[in-house]
A and B are shown apart, each in its own frame.
Chain A
């Protein structure tokens, strides 16, 4: 080892934009490590033999391997190790819930803070993407054709893996821009769209074709795709259907699903000053839910000019499912948290616009099937929060368009596509699925893991068939 190990119990801090300043702009919050910071942080890694971090990574990145190269100041070497396992490192370094995955298992985390694995991943990816001399060799064609439905993290990963094997890959996207939840959902300040665009450009250089405005199940069906000569199809259509609360007043003007709100702000660029996208400029906003999507919506509302933004969540701060960093950033930006509160009615004015949210207080009872303590309503505890917009971020479920138009494709009662194994084979021969379309709303990295496994299974299937 040519360097001295850094035994600082704390992570090298991430430079961030000032909280007050950033709550009025959409520029990225976390600014990224400098070269010196990255090398210093990389030298905190103990290089454990059993690599607990790697086993906790859904795409099994050789984490000590790439970090070791950073420590030795060999960034090209770090990139090669990283890119061998993940197609979207610049994305994952930013949005993975590292505290529940790699960093959650880091031995340094026992007595101090874990190694900043996500930050280092981002550093290497950004370093690579900033280089102008990067070359992508287009793989040799193997003469087989496959189709990918959906251009979110699952679809893009699957497409990249298959393209590298030499397949002729076409990705079909329903919206007018590729990227799925990475472009319509996750906001600019957390994941700049230029990064997603760059990752997609990288895939195109590998020969992947991306067709937008293609709602599979409507424009073309899965069977049409087979008729067009595709030998296997991957369905990564996500979980795009918003859930609502089913309480009175939910159809008042000013009640948005998080999907609609985030799509208007991000994909339709309502955040830009000269944008033509209509959106309500609200002063007091309640966001219902406690996940990453709720944090994103709340922080967008703040940036769109709301003075008061309140997260309304039925459990306590300890149970928030959002990524820890997002909760911290939200708090820094002045987002209020009204926990142990459950909405029972949206209140409207005489013109049908939202004017308040009526909630009841909750207390935590016995643990439920998720292992978290179940929230129980407190009697006679109703109270009103005056708001002029309510954003509902309580989850999504898979879109029914594909299951409705694909005979023989089995789904469960929640509408999720049923798969046989980790390879993602569905009840239809040659049709594979992965990501939120199978699991219901989950994380970017889990979707990527599914896309990667499915690519292997599809390759094996096509090879087996052609023998």
Chain B
């Protein structure tokens, strides 16, 4: 059993949890993920590791309440235990040799972008971070990003906080200002990653995206997480979750991601209308 040692709501639908998992904390790397089941009969859900502390033996996860599984996780509090918590799964992000990088996070994807940015910063790379949200209420990890970025931009769709606009606007501005990036990391909703990739393709900048498709086991067994990358079928759980964004078939991934949307929506309706607006809005 995996004890929750800290729980903190980051906004109305996003929660941060620090979980006691010494074996996972010992091996975790940015880009890797865990699979959890909150209760003994919950669904298995993958979540990218947001942070880890090898000495304290803890792993931090940040999740958005989307369906039943994340709802159940959110019912647990400090002192409670998560029934199953397995990892670190997937291939770590390749960060070696990078000197100047733009890290782009969208919404709850910022939780995944953060450990990448943090590690790059620790390695001594120049980090330009851009995080985007729909509105001010949904902003997360602002201070965390500020602490590790050489340049930090925050944008909102409606202009209620930071600059008004999309992450792609902010990124293009930085590129046009003459910033030459070794690589761009884009982590967020599929549609955001797709448009970041269209932009960086235009400028010929290698772009890595982190894919988070539906999966069960996370070890290559179910094949549910398959994606088309460069015309080949890949499993996000073992071949990824990081992929060359210029090769990913985002349209297919978006369709596959919507496979159980009705299931998720039904679970949310039963729960809380306000939350549904947040998630789907």
Contacts and interface: CB of A to CB of B under 8 A. Distances in A.
Interface of A: 174-176, 184, 212-215, 218-220, 240-242, 244, 246, 250-253, 256-257, 259-260, 263-264, 268-269, 275-278, 280, 351-352, 399-401
Contact of B223 (A214, A257, A269, A351): A257
A215 B90 CA distance: 11
28 contacts: A176-B37, A176-B44, A184-B221, A212-B84, A213-B85, A214-B86, A215-B218, A215-B219, A218-B89, A219-B87, A242-B221, A244-B223, A244-B226, A251-B233, A253-B256, A253-B258, A253-B259, A257-B223, A257-B224, A260-B224, A263-B221, A264-B216, A278-B264, A352-B252, A399-B220, A399-B221, A401-B219, A401-B238
B23 interface: yes
B221 A277 contact: no
Given A244-B223, A259-B222, A269 B41 contact: yes
A250 B233 CA distance: 9
Given A213-B84, A218-B27, 5 more contacts: A176-B86, A218-B219, A253-B255, A278-B260, A278-B264
Contacts of B260: 278
Contacts of A220: 23
Contacts of B217: 174-175, 240, 263
B228 interface: yes
A190 to B, nearest CB: 20
B266 to A, nearest CB: 10
B162 to A, nearest CB: 35
A401 B220 contact: yes
Give the 8 A-B CB pairs with smallest separation, nearest first: A352-B255, A260-B222, A257-B223, A278-B260, A213-B86, A240-B221, A278-B263, A176-B84
Contacts, number: 104
Interface residues of B, number: 39
| Interface majority SS (helix, strand, loop, mixed), chain A | loop
B256 A352 contact: yes
Contacts of A213: 84-86
Contacts of B218: 215
A280 B256 CA distance: 13
Interface in B226-275: 226-228, 233, 238, 252, 255-256, 258-260, 263-264
B46 interface: no
Contact of B220 (A214, A240, A253, A280): A240
Contacts of B255: 252-253, 351-352
B42 interface: yes
Contacts of A252: 255
Nearest to A269: B41
Given A219-B24, A220-B23, A276-B41, A244 B219 contact: no
A257 B214 CA distance: 13
Contacts of B227: 251
B164 interface: no
B43 interface: yes
A5 B43 CA distance: 54
A269 B216 CA distance: 13
A263 B220 contact: no
